[in-house]
Amino acid sequence: MMAEQLDGEWDYLVVGAGSAGCVLANRLTEDGRSRVLLLEAGGPDRHPYLHVPAGFLKTFRDPRFNWCFETEPGPEVDGRRIFFPRGKVLGGSSAINGHLWVRGQARDFDTWAQRGCRGWSYADVLPFFRQAENRSAGADAWRGTGGPQHVSDIHARHPLCEAFLAGAAELGLPRNPDYNGARQEGAFYYQRSIRNGRRVSAATAFLRPALRRPNLRVETHAQAVRIELEGRRATAVVFRQGGRLLRATARREVVLAAGAIGSPHLLQLSGIGPADPLRAAGVPPAHELPGVGEGLQDHYALRVARRVTGAGTLNERARGLRLGAEIVAWLASRRGLLAFSPAHAGVFLRSMPHLEEPDLQFVFTPASYQEGGVTGVLEREPGMTLGVWQLRPESRGHVRLRGPDPAVAPMIQPNYLAAPEDRAAAVAGLRWARRLLGTKALARFRGPETVPGGCCEEDEALLAHARARGSTVYHAAGTCRMGVDPQSVVAPDLRVHGLGALRIADASVMPSLVSANTNAATIMIAEKAASMIRPA
């Protein structure tokens, strides 16, 4: 089937309107001259679930907004396939995520620079973090105001959260007023991408203000199927939209912002990647790059949950007449249950004293969920949940093409718990979670443990629980790694090695996973990418 030529001329083609793509669309059109075409496989972000913060629970498995991927069976997770959500809508995963705004540690970015990615140290990237932000608590040496991305503090402090933070202090973890500031370690309330009780996705923050510009065009329900090359230069993108196959050309550059799953998948569909696997999948190699799709990293979450006595939790507020009252409260004041992010409070800590930086992240919620997760259906009985994950996992996986059909999802194999260090960290994380929920400050609220339960006491039992019940934290990264070694895919200027006019600017380029939720760092990458792409 021949592709029809899309009308119009474009300086830049941006593939993917997620966190990175929305930033690029905004920044590359600011000059009023550069013409940008933004392609998004999903649809518009009009549905209320995408704007009410608690709508997160509804979009989590909704194929209208979510690719709803699954991983391959994991050897170290009891052969399970794990549900693997990715945003498929304007705003991408920032439109369906848990709202948490977490940058990571300075050392994360300094390590990138030390591995050959010059220009990506913490001092180099800090201005781009600050440029993106509109911090409700004000600016300082680390934080920014006046940027498109609003970052707010939680609007109400639940008694269980206050007790949890007091308990953390008992264990030597005092409150940290800003974990995105001078230091990460400590206990805190999470900062959120929420403003006046509404989600602030990348589409809300960056794309919507740019839609008025005549030099930006956005095409939704437009799934890219391949990048066209002329020699060693990217010149066009072919995409499917409404039963038609269309072709758009770029005078300057094609920029991939389809994420840690979508970007390597599109490269492989275009014949860019490891040659032998491409041939095996029925795609003729056009440009051999062995690192495409390799090195997948993700955070693997575990939970401890307990019943609650002597205090109300979100569970009781989410049903019947009380839920009706919460809906009225949100409509009237943008407050209450519907304005909360899934996690309220948290902790960054070092699991062992000799470590220089925190290696575990915790998320505390005054609620509990069926099957012990942190998403889905709330239990009827009062409960509280503490999730934990290792910040810098050693396990590496891959994203690989199944065949030449773009409609077939790729193979996603994170290889959770493959590294022995990750298995040890899982056990340490569960033990620390129990300690944090076992403090004196929480004693008057503490009911019996429901997850993993009293039978899990020995290390072997805790590891078995981790294998059987852990899940993704939706922080996929590293599949088109930035670097200067033969396995890297892009150079420090984000240009694909060996090809002209083709860059990647999303979480796939992270040389190593940040010690944080990935949305803030992805937006920073796109801000920095735009500064490198724009003509001087």
* 452 prior amide bond cis, ω within 30: yes
Task: Please name which of 48, 40, 91, 93 lies closest in space to residue 66, comparing C-alpha atoms.
Answer: 93
Task: Please name which of 295, 319, 261 lies closest in space to residue 15, comparing C-alpha atoms.
Answer: 261
Tokens of 304: 């401890």
Pairing of strands 198-199, 194-195: antiparallel
- Tell me the HSE value of 170 on the side-chain side, using a 13 A CA sphere: 15
pLDDT band at 373 (very low <50, low <70, confident <90, very high): low
- Give yes or no for a contact between 491 and 485, defined as CB atoms under 8 angstroms apart: no
- Give how far the C-alpha of residue 64 lies from the chain's centroid of Cα atoms, to the nearest Å: 19
Query: Once rounded to an integer, what is the mean pLDDT over residues 231-245?
Result: 97
* pLDDT, tens only, 470-520: 999 999 999 999 999 999 999 999 999 999 999 999 999 999 999 999 999
CB atoms within 10 A of CB 378: 19
Distance between CA 381 and CA 265 in Å, rounded? 43
CB atoms within 10 A of CB 519: 28
* pLDDT, tens only, 285-323: 999 999 999 999 999 999 999 999 989 888 888 888 788
The confidence score (pLDDT) of residue 380 equals 87
Query: Once rounded to an integer, what is the mean pLDDT over residues 36-47?
Result: 98
- Give yes or no for a contact between 102 and 108, defined as CB atoms under 8 angstroms apart: no
Q: According to DSSP H, which parts of 378-518 are helical? A: 420-437, 459-469
Query: What letter would DSSP give residue 207?
Result: I
- Give yes or no for a contact between 337 and 18, defined as CB atoms under 8 angstroms apart: no
Enumerate residues 6+ apart whose C-beta is below 8 A from 325: none
Q: Which residues of 316-348 are buried (b: 16+ CB within 10 A; e: fewer)?
A: bbbeeeeeeebeebbeeebebbbbbbbbbbbbb
Distance between CA 5 and CA 175 in Å, rounded? 57
The amino acid at residue 199 is R
The confidence score (pLDDT) of residue 330 equals 86
- pLDDT tops 80 at residue 221: yes
Q: Which CATH superfamily is domain 1-150+198-296+399-409+476-536 in?
A: FAD/NAD(P)-binding domain (3.50.50.60)
Which ranges in the chain are annotated with CATH 3.50.50.60?
A: 1-150+198-296+399-409+476-536
* pLDDT, tens only, 49-104: 999 999 988 898 899 999 999 999 999 999 999 999 999 999 999 999 999 999 99
Query: Once rounded to an integer, what is the mean pLDDT over residues 404-422?
Result: 97
The confidence score (pLDDT) of residue 207 equals 98
Residue 469 phi, psi (nearest 5): -125, -5
pTM of the full predicted structure?
0.97
155-189+300-392+417-469 folds as Cholesterol Oxidase; domain 2 (3.30.410)
Pairing of strands 471-472, 345-349: unpaired
Query: Once rounded to an integer, what is the mean pLDDT over residues 152-160?
Result: 92
* pLDDT, tens only, 181-206: 999 999 999 999 999 999 999 999 99
Radius of gyration of the chain (CA): 22
Beta-strand ranges (E) seen in 112-155 are 133-135, 149-151
Distance between CA 193 and CA 202 in Å, rounded? 9
pLDDT band at 331 (very low <50, low <70, confident <90, very high): confident
* pLDDT, tens only, 254-293: 999 999 999 999 999 999 999 999 999 999 999 999 999 9
Distance between CA 320 and CA 340 in Å, rounded? 19
The confidence score (pLDDT) of residue 335 equals 87
The confidence score (pLDDT) of residue 375 equals 57
Tokens of 32: 């009023």
Tokens of 325: 């009252």
Query: Once rounded to an integer, what is the mean pLDDT over residues 137-158?
Result: 95
Collapse the DSSP code of 436 into the 3-class scheme (helix H, G, I; strand E, B; otherwise coil) and give the result.
helix
Angle between helices 519-533 and 19-28 (to 10 degrees): 30
The confidence score (pLDDT) of residue 376 equals 63
The confidence score (pLDDT) of residue 65 equals 97
- pLDDT tops 80 at residue 46: yes
Q: Quote the mean pLDDT of the chain.
A: 95
Which ranges in the chain are annotated with CATH 3.30.410.40?
A: 155-189+300-392+417-469
The residues assigned a catalytic role are 475
Query: Once rounded to an integer, what is the mean pLDDT over residues 145-154?
Result: 97
- pLDDT tops 70 at residue 374: no
Q: Which residues of 229-261 are buried (b: 16+ CB within 10 A; e: fewer)?
A: beeeebbbbbbbeeeeebbbbbebbbbbbbbbb
What percent helix, strand, coil does the chain show, rounded to 5? Answer: 30, 25, 45
